[in-house]
Amino acid sequence: MLTAIVGINWGDEGKGRMVDLLSKDFDIVARYQGGNNAGHTVVNDKGKFILNLLPSGILRDDTVNVMGQGMVIDVEHLYHEVKRITDAGIEITPDRLKISDRATICMPYHKQMDCLEEDRLGDAKFGSTRRGIAPVYADKYMKKSFRMGDLLHMDDVKRRMPAIIEWKNLTVHGGYKADEIEAEEMIKWLETYGLAFKDYICDTTEYLNNALDNGKTVIFEAQLGALRDIDFGIYPYTSSSNTIAAYAPIGAGIPGRKLSNTIGIMKAYSSCVGEGPFTCEMFGEEGDKLRTAGAEFGAATGRPRRVGGFDVPASKFGIMAQGADEIALTKLDVLSCFESIPVCVKYEVNGVETDKFPSGEDLVNAKPVYEYVPGWGCDISGCRSFSELPKAAQDYIIYLQEKVNAKIKYVSVGPGRDEYLVIE
Ligand code: GDP
């Protein structure tokens, strides 16, 4: 059984919380793309945790967690993230955490290049999280990266480092006029933070294939949503990797395996971090009310998120890109603050109404067409079945289901592990 849990929207849909919930029925949780540029927040009986790199199954004692080859790993960040979790009393051992020897290392100079470029762009900045993700993926495709498996051969790393640093300095020092990067410092950094994971690095392709042959079940955990996918998303305001479910077996390292099903995590309203077109955006008092009710501030960066009503064209497109079989609707409780709930049902592009999600300039020029549906105006966080929900909340779920033409199976009504209901 191979299940992908992926985002339908711009990210921050609550994927981490759904993986934490659903992973109880699975043996392994595997991350397949991205780095520490986004964060999952998970609240469970052990406390509240922000996970940037570690798969969300790390919070369950008997789940094995795989960091796949499609990931980019800042080992210094991972070092501190692991420390935070172990300090909270959760044990992390090589039996429970397996890091792909093919995963790419995100070096300090990648972070530096990200910052230098954002600063150079000034007002035209991309809204990068400044964690080095675009530069490290660029180097991966330039074939000038260090990979986690290289840490097991430090002599070779030391031999290759000067040539890579010479090349990096052409841009960092020669172009941006920043101080020269020192090869020795980079080696020291890898020795300090990278070697701490020596015992966790392995051939995760072999591990996962063997596990599946032995009947184990795997969840693929995505970071960010469909609309941030490098190919399908709102390019160039996308992430630098493929976030969609079709990439999950590749990024995890087992491309010969087919997904059994894909659960799309879709938020009951919209939120978006950073720059780029966000057609359904709500401003002023209405936006502030939604942002506060939903606590929409970035888990990785603390930045206030942009918010809007549920976006039908964007969500339908996200469901298509993910090939989602069923939907988990999250944060429905947040909409209790509205007497009538705004929903962006269509876009107006160059004077013409459409329910398609456009790309490029058409998306930039799109204007939202809003419809208002009745709210329920009361706390629903205690509801544990569809029938316990107020009629208006039931109607909202059915309305969304019809608009996006996909089955909503799970509804989450609070951040806690048990704050959800299943619609059979
Ligand atoms: P992810 O990256 O997709 O996992 O999403 P984030 O962790 O960035 O954002 C989801 C946030 O919403 C977290 O703080 C969760 O604890 C919280 N959350 C998840 N589901 C619900 C829900 O149903 N209701 C409420 N109120 N909060 C939720």
Catalytic option among 20, 40, 229, 311: 40
pLDDT reading at 301 higher than 80: no
What is the model's pLDDT at position 65? 97
The per-residue pLDDT for range 26-71, each reduced to its tens digit, is 999 999 999 998 878 888 888 889 899 999 899 988 999 999 999 9
* Local confidence band at 270 (pLDDT 50, 70, 90 cut-offs): very high
The tens digit of pLDDT for each residue in 401-424 reads 999 999 999 999 999 989 999 998
pLDDT above 90 covers a percentage of the chain that reads 87
Nearest CA to ligand 1 atom 14: 41
Distance from Cα 198 to the centre of ligand 1, integer Å: 33
Give the relative orientation of helices 312-322 and 391-404 as an angle to the nearest 10 degrees: 60
Higher pLDDT, 193 or 49: 193
pLDDT of residue 300: 63
The answer to which of 106-110, 113-117, 219-223, 385-389 has the lowest mean pLDDT is 219-223
State in Å: Cα 18 to ligand 1 middle: 9
Rounded Cα distance, 55 and 66, in Å = 7
The predicted pLDDT at position 189 comes to: 98
Q: How far is the CA of 42 from the centre of ligand 1 (A)?
A: 7
> Atom 28 in ligand 1: which residue has the minimum CA distance?
415
CB of 412 closer than 6 A to ligand 1? yes
Structure tokens at 360: 């490029």
pLDDT at position 299 over 70: no
Measuring from atom 13 of ligand 1, which residue has the nearest CA?
A: 41
| CB environment 61-78: b (16+ within 10 A), e (fewer) | eebbbbbbbbbbbbbbbb
Cβ(12) to ligand 1 under 6 A?
Answer: yes
pLDDT higher than threshold 90 for residue 386: yes
Residue nearest to atom 25 of ligand 1 (CA): 414
Residue in 12, 27, 101, 150 annotated catalytic: 12
Atom of ligand 1 nearest to the CA of 38: 2
Is 12 tagged catalytic? yes
DSSP SS3 for 70: coil
Q: What is the pTM of this model?
A: 0.93
pLDDT cut 70: percent of the chain above it:
99
- The span from the CA of 10 to the CA of 228, in Å, is 6
For atom 17 of ligand 1, which residue has the closest CA?
415
- Ligand 1 atom with the shortest distance to the CA of 334: 26
Asked if the bond preceding 236 is cis, omega within 30° of 0, the reply is yes
Q: Give pLDDT, residue 23.
A: 87
Among residues 137, 110, 143, which one has the least CA distance to residue 238?
137
CA of 47 to the centre of ligand 1 (A): 14
pLDDT at 385 over 80: yes
pLDDT score recorded for residue 99:
98
Reported as a single tens digit per residue, the pLDDT across 327-374 is: 999 999 999 999 999 999 999 999 999 999 999 999 999 999 999 999
Tell me the per-residue pLDDT of 205-260, one tens digit each, with 9 for 90 and over: 999 999 999 999 999 999 899 999 999 999 999 999 999 999 999 999 999 999 99
Of 322, 351, 327, 335, the C-alpha closest to 396 is: 335
Candidates 12, 17, 269: which one to mutate for ligand 1, based on the most atoms within 8 Å of Cβ? 17
For residue 266 and ligand 1, the question of a CB distance below 6 A is answered with no
Question: What count of Cα atoms within 13 Å lies in the side-chain half-sphere of residue 157?
Answer: 23
Q: What is the mean pLDDT of the chain?
A: 95
